Amino acid sequence: MSLKIIAAVTAGGALGTLLRYIINLAALPSGYPYGTIIENTGGSFILGGVTAWFLTKKAPEWVKVGIGTGFCGGLTTMSTLASDTVMLAARDASAPVIYLGMSIFGGLAAALIGFYSVSFLLREKGGPSL
């Protein structure tokens, strides 16, 4: 593993984590974990889009891991999803079902939308189709 890859993952992770913190601060007053939903679905959308991009465009490995593993990994959070689910279950037995449904299916939908949106844009600009 090269120093450039380590630096890219570190920088991407720091930026993703900072954005996650800002989103959580903005969503905190609602009392519901909207921040985590936004972070995870947004990160899924971005990762879906960059996956489509990198399947058709050449990029150095450090760029790929800096954005994917670093930024998207720092932005999204499985541990907070789990913690929020437990917190919601303590309040109301049905709340985690809705939250998990929005998080899981929303994340999958966002990744697909990101992937196919970028694929469509690349095709429109004369790029190869996926």
Tens digits of per-residue pLDDT, 80-102? 999 999 999 999 988 899 999 99
74 is in an annotated binding site: no
Whether the pTM exceeds 0.85: the reply is: yes
What mean pLDDT comes out for the span 7-15? 98
Question: Quick one: average pLDDT of 62-79?
Answer: 96
Cβ count near 71 (within 10 Å): 25
- Inform me whether the pLDDT recorded for 120 exceeds 80: yes
First and final C-alpha spacing in the chain = 30
* Residue 69 is labelled as binding a ligand: no
pLDDT in the model for residue 14: 98
DSSP state of 125: T
Domain positions in the chain: 3-124
What's the rounded mean pLDDT across residues 6-35?
A: 97
Confidence band, pLDDT 50/70/90 cuts, at residue 129: low
